[in-house]
Chains A and B, each alone.
Chain A
């Protein structure tokens, strides 16, 4: 389509509104209420332009560009006097009650309202009456609330309620007194609340953790990073000053996380600054220096009997160097055997099967979703946000039928009302997505698998049939099959969350059966850690084999990489293993039960102090960059291991000098990881002979920030591993999409500057969305269905099958160390069905004592109507509940009448 803007013709895509079209062309039109992910509502009236009937029309009329579809050969003007004057005065209106407190406002310097004010030209205040003021609210550990700054764009409620499904933020009152907040003070409950800090165009909602060590955006040293707190691998920007990590912000990746992060990802970073970080090497609890450490270790490692235990939360590089150091046969995965097997199963299905695993963006576009066994709101939150959007796909046809463009958000909602597309959820108990579901099914993994197998059979007779299926389940399976069969882009989601290979295989069967008829079928497996898939693609043995190797005397020295074994193995097993080890060498950044027993502790870098590549659950290899060099002896695990190997005379390791060498070695020697050296440009990459600066050009105080120590400015560190510089020196233009340290464009200081980095608004980044997909389906494979349908679950008398319950806050190790996240971690509990509670004479909060193997557990009871009888669930990953591989049968004794007790545990969270 051709669009004439101020008499110049431009080629624009059809189906957009004028604002999107103009922004895509690089034009500057100020806006507030419109958001590329949430569409238009026309509230702020900021984006006015003139539209002309034809070339003879001189007068034209003002329209809101976000509310007008592009029409071929349309003539508009952005520069028209009336349009400019109106836009300027809209800012003036918005500013009548704004406190103009930029100097003390956290948003200052990265404020969309500031940018738009400058853009519109408004600079003189004609309003000289009193401003209205508001009372602010306490909103929990993640967000500040400063309502006086509000310009009433309605974005917050549109994101929180409409997009993220939140219930406890709303707009109250009317006229020039509208209020955005909760009905009363309290913690914002939604898992995506932190996005309000980025969605809000000014400083009403700001990052509360940033406030505790506040730094202006322009004073941060920033690097492109990858979230470490689940397997989705959201792209983030991590910012540092004075050697501490200050904030995590969203880094747009159209395929993965789009515009949003979950609160675990945004606020989990504080573990980096924890007081109990390991900053110096220790031998036998005594701090030591580098030389002593290396010579000590080279002695240990030159003897036979050294094994290495890798980690699903460490980079490919660190795992690979460890594997090389100890030898392929001595490298073990630091995950429970069931997680090890499930991750390998996922890789096998996605590589050898015929079904493609879609990106998060593609899940958003799915028009029918079937979730088996996974509570994705808690295990892969951004995926849950995508599923939330997917249920809008089918009803959107109603809007299209009524000629309403999909960006016209309020109008689409008016037509669609409460209609939702098909979403089926089969999980152990209720999940947050249930409110959107067409149907839910509450069952144990065995029964969920049986339902999945039945759906696959209903779709394709060649798939194995399920024997003795109840009438209800047959009807449900047929209903699900019908919805999936008629969908254009069905997606099946499962994962490691319920620790069942049968469930994952059932999901694969459903996807395979669909794929026969519909090539657009997608299959998603979520995993428990950020690099679970990467580790599985690298190969290595099970953890129990490592235990056996030492306990049986085949090895006596273990190197544990970034791993608390007590989170992956039963306490008795880990105790026995560690006791049998003569030398325990642990590389990690934070203290935990395993580091406490180590003979040698080596200070590893967190993601903020490291370079590395992770592979997310889509099989997408993504790189995170070091944000800053630690002043202490903290180094990347892979760098320590290189040094240790070189010192010990390992000939292969001694030829690798930097990140690049290791990455090449992985790409050439690991068949499944071919191509990961293409994830980002090489470290020699330069633009116009320059590096890409980590700091914005306005970064202040570089020459003086160390002056209290020494007035001569130290030389900035050189980065041997990437093309980024640690200062503001370097190329000012747009870097390659895989290494954008921060978004900025002239006149666009807020996160909204991402507009300028996109090929089209809301689409892929210029140069393509970052990451390389490593898992593509086999093109020639014949469909093979998994057999081995499990028996239906049968409850046992005096026994409970204990299942893990994942929590967005608490179940993941590192984020749980963040003080803000810690405030949201649930207290330990055991979830029982109403019938079981009644039969054991238990009420809510009564203590249930139960036994798994030799271990006694006692936890307060929570009662649910939605969990099957004979099953109980306990939170996964809480330190108060010692790890055991679940599901596992527990025995109970005769009912005990106990007084109501509250858990006595208080978390020991520290922060610098």
Chain B
């Protein structure tokens, strides 16, 4: 089994030096791209490879790049790698950042060349201190070796690279909030359109890609689109870093072909559930994806198949729910995170998620009320995409709505039976006191 992304990572996870990396074939793609290919060539090989963004949304990378204006009059374009990995349960980029920084830099150089960006940033989660050290060191090595800076390898192509460490806000992982933050403003997302490809950082065309996405680029350029497609067991190309957390025997992270089943991942790699525990469900792609349950265990882990099952591949890092863990507590814990990380800009997210957290907390405390579940349902209905300003709240609703779907009894369990049966949901039956505002 080929593992292009992780094959050069040492057992002890120490990153390769530039020299070691070059000896292992590193920076070949930079030579190939800058000397023998046009930006258009790279864009088309990436498009042909069918690579989809590994940050969670799964948008086609080649398509995203194609929106960047390639008009030579544009002076500045930016390439940014989104290394603000902060989604609960997600720890895949960390491995690449800490242990293979040169692979990322290589991918960034080639990608920047493909869109003719001349300035690039690594937007790194503040808590990844070790990664910051390794990347800083690697960037310096790359500058010293002439892979960064002016006239890279005599090609005439210039690229600056900067490391920016955030201050620890989940919302900065949202690509437009990331841009606001990088500009020194409040980390508030921006409305789209305009898309960052047209008006991004400092109003200039900008591409923001995930770490893992960019790490795929050198391999695609070196070995071709067909090779990349064939790495996968299904139509969604490439390998993927899959992680498993929760009460399994051997939680961890593996690079595996796209399209292995959940069952394989859970049983062969994560060693199955811990003794005495049963599998109840899992968030297949991090905290903001819908639960899948036992019936879905044979679903293939790729974008299309997981979506067909009613969830999202997301970041590909699964959080497993067992039968001894409270579902309500599990979800409440996630809601606490999302409520705390709301940027406070739009109403439904800012006020809705804390309300959900309070309802769940009161359920756990045995103070549930009859219409609590209706209120939760209502929030899952209206905190959807388009209703809120960005994708944070819709993402937060995914575990909640699927938990209410698959584990509704667990929620009802917390509400005293007599209340359940006697209290009517208020929103449906109350009388309108004021019907005609023209009288006021």
> Per-residue 0/1 for A661-672: is the Cβ within 8 Å of any B Cβ (1 yes, 0 no)?
000000000000
**B80-88, B128-136, B258-266, B345-353 - the one binding chain A:** B345-353
A123 interface hit (Cβ, 8 Å): yes
Interface residues of A in 394-411 (CB under 8 A from B): 398, 402-404, 408, 410-411
- CB pair A45 B388 closer than 8 Å: yes
| Assembly CA distance A90 to B387 (angstroms) | 10
Closest chain-A Cβ to B410's Cβ sits at a distance in Å of 22
Give the residues from 391 to 440 in chain B that come closer than 8 angstroms, CB to CB, to chain A. 426-427, 430, 432-434, 437-440
Contact A414 B190 (CB under 8 A): yes
For window 150-206 of B, CB contacts with A under 8 Å fall at 169, 186, 190-191, 193-194, 198-199, 202-203
Q: Report if A127 contacts B (CB, 8 A).
A: yes
Q: Are B386 and A747 in contact (CB under 8 A)?
A: no
* Residue from the set B340, B375, B386 with the largest chain A CB neighbour count within 10 Å: B386
Q: Is the interface of A mostly helix, strand, loop or mixed?
A: loop
- Nearest-neighbour CB distance to chain A for B112, whole angstroms, equals 21
A45-B387, A176-B339 are known contacts. Are A747 and B430 too (CB-CB below 8 A)?
Answer: no
From residue B388, how far is it (CB to closest CB) to chain A in Å?
7
Q: Which of B169, B202, B387, B439 has the most CB of A within 10 A?
A: B387
B389 close to A (CB within 8 Å): yes
- Contact A175 to B344, CB < 8 A, known contacts A118-B434, A152-B350, A402-B198: yes
Known: A43-B346, A94-B347, A402-B194. A171 touches B386 (CB 8 A): no
**Interface size range on B against A:** 35 or more
Determine if B341 is an interface residue (Cβ-Cβ < 8 Å). Answer: yes
With a cutoff of 8 Å between Cβ atoms, the chain A residues found around residue B345 in the complex are 43, 154
B176: nearest chain-A partner, CB-CB: A414
User: When the two chains form the complex, which single residue of A85, A175, A398, A403 contacts B341, counting CB atoms closer than 8 Å?
Assistant: A175
- Whether B358 lies near A129 (C-beta < 8 A) is yes
**Is the CB of B354 closer than 8 A to any CB of chain A?**
yes
Across the interface, do B389 and A152 meet the contact criterion of CB distance under 8 Å? no
A93 proximal to B (CB < 8 A):
yes
- A417-B369 Cα distance, complex, nearest whole Å: 50
Specify the chain A residue showing the minimal Cβ separation from B379: A89
**A746 contacts the other chain (Cβ, under 8 Å)?**
yes
Partner of A67, one of B191, B344, B382, B388: B191
Instruction: Check B96 for interface membership: any CB of A closer than 8 A.
Output: no
Contact of A93 among B169, B202, B352 (CB under 8 A): B352
Query: Whole-angstrom distance from the CB of A521 to the nearest CB of chain B?
Result: 31
Q: Is the CB of A45 within 8 A of B347?
A: yes
B342 contact from A63, A89, A176, Cβ within 8 A? A176
In the bound complex, how far is the Cα of B430 from the Cα of A126, in angstroms?
A: 11
Chain A 175-210: CB-based contact to B (< 8 A → 1; otherwise 0) = 111100000000000000000000000000000000
> How far apart are A46's CB and chain B's nearest CB, in angstroms?
7
Any B CB within 8 A of the CB of A61 = yes
Which of B346, B389, B439 has the most chain A CB atoms inside 10 A of its CB?
B346
Q: Which residues of A contact B199 (CB under 8 A)?
A: 402, 404, 411, 414-415
- B355 contacts the other chain (Cβ, under 8 Å)? yes
Interface size on A, residues (CB 8 A): 53
Docked complex Cα distance between A129 and B198 (Å): 44
A93-B351 in contact (CB<8A): yes
Contacts of A524-538 to chain B: CB distance below 8 A: none
CA distance A749 to B438 in the complex (A): 11
- B residues 196-254 in Cβ contact with A at 8 Å: 198-199, 202-203
Known A-B contacts A94-B351, A177-B344; the reply to A746 vs B440 at CB < 8 A is: yes
Task: Indicate if the CB atoms of B343 and A61 lie closer than 8 Å.
Answer: no
**Distance, CA A45 to CA B375, complexed state (A):** 19
Q: A176 contacts B354, CB within 8 Å?
A: yes
Indicate if A124 sits at the interface (CB-CB under 8 A): yes
| In the assembled complex, B330 has its CB within 8 A of some CB on chain A | no
Chain A residues closer than 8 Å to B389, beta-carbon distance: 42-43, 45
With A28-B437, A746-B437 as known contacts, state yes or no: A44 contacts B350, CB within 8 Å.
no
Minimum CB–CB distance for A285 against chain B, Å? 54
Judging by beta carbons under 8 Å apart, are B350 and A46 in contact? no
| A residues in contact with B190, CB < 8 Å | 410-411, 414
Q: In whole angstroms, what is the CA distance A154 to B347 when docked?
A: 11
Known contacts A89-B378, A93-B352, A415-B203, A62 near B386 by CB under 8 Å: yes
B residues near A470, Cβ cutoff 8 Å = none
Which residues on the B side are within 8 Å of A90 (C-beta)? 347-348
Contacts of B439 in A (CB 8 A): 746
In the assembled complex, the CB of B182 is this many whole angstroms from the nearest CB of chain A, namely 12
B203 touches A416 (CB 8 A): yes
User: Given A43-B346, A86-B387, A411 and B194 touching (CB < 8 A)?
Assistant: yes
| Interchain nearest-CB distance for B200 vs A (Å) | 8
Q: Which residues of B contact A414 (CB under 8 A)?
A: 190, 194, 199, 203
- B3 on interface, CB distance cutoff 8 Å: no
Chain B residues in 8 Å Cβ range of A749: 440
Could you tell me the distance between the alpha carbons of A85 and B387 in the complex, rounded to whole angstroms? 12
Provide the residues of chain B in CB contact with A97, threshold 8 Å. Answer: 351
Across the interface, name the chain A residue whose C-beta is closest to B198: A402
Judged by a CB distance under 8 angstroms, whether B371 is at the interface is yes
The complex places the Cα of A397 from the Cα of B209 at a distance, in Å, of 29
Q: B186 contacts which chain A residues (CB < 8 A)?
A: 171
* Complex Cα gap A443–B367 (Å): 73
Q: A44-56 vs B: 1/0 string, CB under 8 Å?
A: 1110100000000
> Which B residues touch A127, using CB under 8 A?
355
Contact, CB under 8 Å: B191 / A411: yes
CA distance A403 to B432 in the complex (A): 43
With A126-B371, A411-B199, A747-B438 already in contact, the answer to whether A93 and B348 are too (CB < 8 A) is: yes
Residues in chain B near residue A129, CB distance under 8 A: 355, 358, 362
A97 CA to B362 CA, complexed, in Å: 18
From 364 to 423 in chain A, residues with beta carbon under 8 angstroms from any chain B beta carbon are 398, 402-404, 408, 410-411, 414-417
CA distance A262 to B220 in the complex (A): 62
The answer to whether B437 touches A404 (Cβ under 8 A) is no
Q: In the complex, what distance in Å separates the CA atom of A415 from the CA atom of B432?
A: 45
A651-675 at interface with B (beta carbon < 8 Å): none
Closest approach, in angstroms, between the C-beta of B351 and any C-beta of chain A?
4
* Most central of A46, A128, A173 by chain B CB within 10 Å: A128
CA distance A175 to B388 in the complex (A): 14
Is the Cβ of B344 less than 8 Å from the Cβ of A123? no
Please give, as numbers and ranges, the residues of chain A lying within 8 Å of B386 by CB-CB distance. Answer: 61-63
A219 to B388, CA, bound (A): 40
A473 on the interface (CB 8 Å rule)? no
* Cβ–Cβ < 8 Å partners of B362 in chain A: 129
Q: Is A121 an interface residue (CB 8 A)?
A: yes
Q: Is A41 engaged at the interface, CB distance under 8 Å to the other chain?
A: yes
Q: How far is the CB of A26 from the nearest CB of chain B, in Å?
A: 12
Closest CB of chain A to B374's CB: distance in Å?
A: 9
Could you give, for residues 365-379 of chain B, a 1 whenever the CB lies within 8 Å of some chain A CB and a 0 otherwise?
Answer: 000010100010010
> Residue on B with the closest CB to A170?
B186
Contact B434 A174 (CB under 8 A): no
Q: Which residue of A lies closest to B389 (CB)?
A: A42
Give CA–CA (A90, B378) in the complex, Å: 12
Identify which of B194, B198, B203, B341 gathers the most chain A CB atoms within 10 Å of its CB: B203
Inter-chain contact B191/A408, CB cutoff 8 Å: yes
Residue with the highest number of chain B CB atoms closer than 10 Å, among A45, A398, A402, A408:
A45
A38 → B minimal CB distance (Å): 15
Question: A45-B348, A93-B355 in contact; A175/B343 too (CB < 8 A)?
Answer: yes
Question: Which residues of chain B are near A410, meaning CB under 8 Å?
Answer: 190-191
Q: Quick one: which of B203, B369, B438 contacts A746, CB cutoff 8 A?
A: B438
The list of the 7 closest CB pairs from A to B, nearest first, reads A93-B351, A747-B437, A178-B344, A746-B438, A415-B203, A129-B358, A175-B342
- For this complex, 8 residue pairs linking A to B, each with C-beta atoms less than 8 Å apart, are A43-B347, A89-B382, A118-B437, A123-B433, A178-B350, A411-B191, A411-B193, A415-B199
A interface residues with partner B (beta carbon < 8 Å): 28, 41-46, 48, 61-63, 67, 85-86, 89-90, 93-94, 96-97, 118-119, 121, 123-124, 126-129, 151-152, 154, 171, 173-178, 398, 402-404, 408, 410-411, 414-417, 746-747, 749
